[in-house]
Structure 1
Amino acid sequence: MTRTVHPIEQESYAILRARADLSALAPLSRAVVERVVHASADLDYVDDLVLDEPALDAAHAALRAGAPVVADVEMVAAGITRREVVCRVRDPRAADLARGAGLTRSAAAVRLALDEVGPGAVWVVGCAPTALVELLALDARPALVVGLPVGFVGAAESKAALRASGLPAVSNASEKGGSAVAAAALNALLYAEVP
């Protein structure tokens, strides 16, 4: 399905492209960087994002084949516009599991979601470093992990652990991130019309 692009978005991309030449990037990497910069108005992401084109190609194919998408929090889920998203953070079972296991609700929600979707899902973490840490501790076998949680406590460390894990991933090196950035990265893959 071809996406209609609003004139404001077209103008925003023209400004972005005038300020940063991303033409040397591979197609999906460029799409992710541009969408993240567009969503955040932060050109620092040009150098901060850590991307792997073969992983993005595989994730793009998985999404086209119907791979489930899981988000750590509802703000991330709300920002993903072309796919139903599994998010169990408000599930009462997540609160019960969190209390019983000494986890955050986001980490408990990762466990619940994994039980539901199994391997091959695309995971989008934009808020909770604890959700990313929990995902890395489980045998999720994801198609891709968009790991872009934000914050001064554990965010950069959780993203470093993601990169060290060898899982197919989108991440960044700094403490920056957030729900809008993570959703933008996933939307870039959903919108991409790369064969």
Structure 2
Amino acid sequence: MSQAKQVDPAARVVHPIEQESFRRLRARLDTSRFPPLTRAVVERVVHSSADLEYADDLVMDEGELTAAHAALHAGAPVVVDVEMVAAGITRRETVCRLRDARSGPGLTRSAHAVRLAYEQVGPGALWVIGCAPTALEELLALDASPALVIGLPVGFVGAAESKAALRASGLPAVSNVSEKGGSAVAAAALNALLYHPLPEETS
């Protein structure tokens, strides 16, 4: 149901290979046009996927990211749709109810897992969906009042459509326009907010 413990992001030690990877990324992709948190998300998603096209494919709002960043660092719950997303978020406890979920008529296991998770955490959580479009669709059907929805499911059936519905919903969100996505990039987007220092840490 949960993964790892919460760790102070300021204590994170960046490996030299990661430092070099980001240096090469920035040499190939100019991210200086983005505001700070947007840039952090773009760079970490690109880093996790080696796909420079995400710089133009991702959709997010800096103000929404700022509010979500504050909520995350204040201890808001983090809910994931699958264990693969949880595995990528190694420095924060997460909630995943897929193992407890059951499918039924008109309801996938992923959608049921979202219902179970919402019953557990209530409003104000950060939701990280990287696998199942039906999980994102179910979340949009709930009155979940999320701090942020990272909606980056992947696939040829329903993925792009569910992400378009997320953008149309008006909820604070990170999404992308194309069919690509996945657990690694969804976790990377959350990690970008998790690793980014609080304002007082940068002053």
User: Percent identity at matched positions?
Assistant: 79
Name the structure 1 match of 2:73.
64
User: What value does the CA root-mean-square deviation take over the aligned residues?
Assistant: 0.7
User: Is the Cα contact below 8 Å between 1:27 and 1:194 reproduced in 2?
Assistant: no
Name the structure 1 match of 2:24.
15
Unaligned runs of 5+ in 1: none
Q: Which of 6, 13, 27 lines up with 2:15 in the alignment?
A: 6
Q: TM-score, normalised by structure 1?
A: 0.96
Q: TM-score, normalised by structure 2?
A: 0.92
User: Is the Cα contact below 8 Å between 1:71 and 1:123 reproduced in 2?
Assistant: yes
The amino acid across from 1:113 in the alignment is A
Q: In structure 2, what is the Cα distance between the partners aligned to 1:68 and 1:6?
A: 27
Q: Please show how residues 83-162 of structure 1 align to structure 2 within 5 Å.
A: 83-91=92-100, 94-95=101-102, 98-99=103-104, 101-162=105-166
Pairwise CA distance, 1:102:
2.7
Name the structure 2 match of 1:175.
179
Pairwise CA distance, 1:81:
1.6
Deviation readout 1:61-98 (Å, 9 max, x if unpaired): 0001100000001101111122110000011xx11xx2
Name the structure 2 match of 1:164.
168
Name the structure 1 match of 2:4.
none
The amino acid across from 1:130 in the alignment is T
Partner SS for 2:98: coil
Q: In structure 1, what is the Cα distance between the partners aligned to 2:23 and 2:194?
A: 21
Partner SS for 2:99: coil
Q: Which of 43, 55, 58 lines up with 1:46 in the alignment?
A: 55
Q: In structure 1, what is the Cα distance between the partners aligned to 2:62 and 2:69?
A: 10
Q: Which runs of 4+ in 1 moved over 4 A?
A: none
Q: Tell me the matched-pair count.
A: 190
